[in-house]
Amino acid sequence: MSFVLIEAGGLPCYRSSLLDAFPEVVHGFFGRQGGVSPEPYHSLNLSFTVGDQNAQVVRNRALVQQALELTALASATQVHGCRETLVTAAPAAAAEELPDADILITGQPGLGLLIKQADCQAVMLYDPVRRVVANVHSGWRGQVGNILGKAVTGLQKSGSRPEDLIAAISPSLGPCCAEFRNFRQELPVELWSYQVRPTYFDLWALSRDQLLAAGLQARQIEIAGICTRCRGDQFFSYRRDRNTGRQGAVIGLRD
Ligand SMILES: [Zn+2]
């Protein structure tokens, strides 16, 4: 099992082989290529809050929506918290986002859940039994709060069983680049075992372990294993560039 690079509607994007096994699911982990934004947001920036012009972001989002043949895209203001939102419809205006949430859940066909990231993880979850998808914005602050455990609990509350869930972890900051010089202040002691060399941490392994602890099966978890900071041509990276755009990870149910 692995991620594969494809082109959807002219946009390069990665897909998870695990999720690809379900024809009713549409998903894509996009990079920075194929959009209309100028430097330093070149070019497929999907965030309204990094300094790019809204009209360009709206155009980029339309390109992503068309590439996946979805009816609408929904996103929220991401706040590195653990709050979840059940999304039943996209916001009325193209430049509008749902209020603060880092976990998006829907069972509505045609509606794509968009997580914006530049080093943080987007973690997609799918329940093939109940046909519900979730997309989680999981940065290190979210990981400290066990946001993935909370996302699984949120799905359980609506009837999902953790052992049924499929999970796919996006390109994001790898153990090569996830440096925390102040980890003694920033990370709780139970996470220090994820240190792979002095001050560098394996946040991919941490997410996998948090999903396992929540009850998922190891064979139903797939990690892209691609570091956004190392791949400047393909991805936006906040750690590398600071003033930059955000790529998107989108999952939905086919209309
Ligand atoms: Zn790296």
CB 106 within 8 A of CB 88: yes
| Ligand 1 midpoint to CA 1 (Å) | 21
| Ligand 1 midpoint to CA 155 (Å) | 32
CB 187 within 8 A of CB 180: yes
| Ligand 1 midpoint to CA 219 (Å) | 25
Residues with pLDDT less than 50, the chain = none
CA distance 234 to 32: 6
CB 163 within 8 A of CB 127: no
| Ligand 1 midpoint to CA 96 (Å) | 33
Nearest 5°: the CA angle 41, 44, 50 is 40
DSSP letter assigned to residue 123: E
| Ligand 1 midpoint to CA 73 (Å) | 30
| Ligand 1 midpoint to CA 70 (Å) | 32
Nearest 5°: the CA angle 87, 238, 112 is 20
pLDDT digit string, tens, across residues 186-197 = 999 999 999 999
What confidence score (pLDDT) does residue 94 get?
A: 87
Residue ranges of alpha helices (H) inside the chain are 17-20, 54-67, 140-144, 147-157, 183-186, 203-213, 238-241
pLDDT digit string, tens, across residues 43-78 = 999 999 999 999 999 999 999 999 999 999 999 999
| Ligand 1 midpoint to CA 241 (Å) | 13
| Ligand 1 midpoint to CA 255 (Å) | 37
What confidence score (pLDDT) does residue 1 get?
A: 61
What confidence score (pLDDT) does residue 82 get?
A: 87
| Ligand 1 midpoint to CA 30 (Å) | 18
| Ligand 1 midpoint to CA 228 (Å) | 7
| Ligand 1 midpoint to CA 199 (Å) | 14
| Ligand 1 midpoint to CA 224 (Å) | 13
Both tokens of residue 62?
């339309």
3-253 is classed CATH 3.40.50.10860: no
| Ligand 1 midpoint to CA 72 (Å) | 33
